[in-house]
Amino acid sequence: MIILLQNSFNSIVKCSKPVITSIHGGCVGAGLDLISAADIRYCSNDAFFSLREVAIGMAADLGSLQRFPKIVGNDSLVREMAFTGRNITSSEAKELGLVSSVFSEPKESLDAAIETAKKIAAHSPVAVQGTKISLNYSRNHSDRDGLEFMANWNMCMFQSQDLITASTATATRSETPPTFNDL
């Protein structure tokens, strides 16, 4: 049962498209597992974050203990949260790098997420997917391994029409955004 639930959260990481979250209110337990698997996180001022599993007699088991420390880079804080169930505020989450931006209202956070998604969607799907795959790979590998992986990936991207389309649009300073084929 737990493996099945873990796989559902892992599918967010494995999704070929960037996953953007917009958080308001409590992001507790499985909520933190979910956003820890996402690529980009925004929140509103009223958001708070907590690893509460300890309060119900269990250890977090859907990915936050594995992903959250890598995101925030503060092992002591993650341990404190996991052992005590303490909340962190939206401003603390921003300071730690858990979220990219904090907005005064939930709608502003959602609007920013949608606007970011539109900006991403305007780029080559091959380039976006390659970037996500490389970032995910590099998180758990050495710089050398990550660079070698990216060199191999880019050899494949050089075969794509997207590189020519994007380069031409940039070089000619085209006012019309380039159109890319679906993957």
Distance separating alpha carbons of residues 84 and 164, to the nearest angstrom: 53
Please state the φ and ψ torsions of residue 104, each to the nearest 5 degrees: -70, -25
Q: Which two tokens stand for residue 161?
A: 């029409």
What architecture does CATH give domain 123-172? Orthogonal Bundle (1.10)
For residue range 75-93, list pLDDT tens digits in order.
999 999 999 999 999 999 9
Q: What is the pLDDT of residue 183?
A: 66
For the chain, what are the domain ranges? 1-120, 123-172
Q: Which two tokens stand for residue 8?
A: 């559902």
For residue range 111-129, list pLDDT tens digits in order.
999 999 999 999 999 899 9
In whole numbers, what is the pLDDT of the chain averaged over residues? Answer: 91
Cβ atoms of 175 and 8 closer than 8 Å? no
Using the predicted structure, report yes or no on whether residue 132 has a pLDDT greater than 90: yes
Distance separating alpha carbons of residues 135 and 124, to the nearest angstrom: 17
Write out the CATH class of domain 1-120.
Answer: alpha beta
Using the predicted structure, report yes or no on whether residue 169 has a pLDDT greater than 80: no
Distance separating alpha carbons of residues 150 and 158, to the nearest angstrom: 12
Distance separating alpha carbons of residues 34 and 98, to the nearest angstrom: 12
The residue with greater pLDDT, 68 or 154, is: 68
Cβ atoms of 166 and 124 closer than 8 Å? yes
Q: What is the pLDDT of residue 176?
A: 78
Q: Which two tokens stand for residue 111?
A: 């609007």
Instruction: Give the strand order in the sheet containing 48-50.
Output: 26-28, 48-50, 87-89
Using the predicted structure, report yes or no on whether residue 181 has a pLDDT greater than 80: no
